[in-house]
Amino acid sequence: MGRVNLSVNGRSYEIACADGQEQQIEALGADLDRRIAGLVARLGQVGEARLLLLGGLLVANELEELRRSGAGDENSSAAAAGSLESAAERIDALAGRLEQA
């Protein structure tokens, strides 16, 4: 089992993942950190749980927009939507682990 250290909003988190998934998890963590930093810039430090919820909602919104816009090109949009859905699920799992910490 792989392990990845992520930094989100200035805090470090050690995450377990399947072997070979480390780079993808690191990239997802970096993306989440960028999104959270944008929220902090606009809203301030409104609490970790709220920031993670808002970050998850941003990702879910992008996934929904992708689903709507890709109705005409099902092959490429389905693959992209699947990738985003997978990312959203991983972010949701990460948020659950953070809430338990």
Which residues lie below 8 Å from residue 47, measured CB to CB, with a gap of 6+? none
- Local confidence band at 86 (pLDDT 50, 70, 90 cut-offs): confident
Amino acid at 25: I
- Total domains in the chain come to 1
Q: Alpha-carbon torsion 54, 36, 99, 4, what sign?
A: positive
Q: Render pLDDT for 7-62 as a digit per residue (tens, 0 to 9).
A: 999 999 999 988 999 999 999 999 999 999 999 999 999 998 899 899 888 888 88
Range of the domain at 93: 2-100
- pLDDT at position 85, please? 72
- pLDDT at position 3, please? 92
- Local confidence band at 98 (pLDDT 50, 70, 90 cut-offs): low
Beta strand spans in the chain (E): 2-8, 11-17
pTM: 0.66
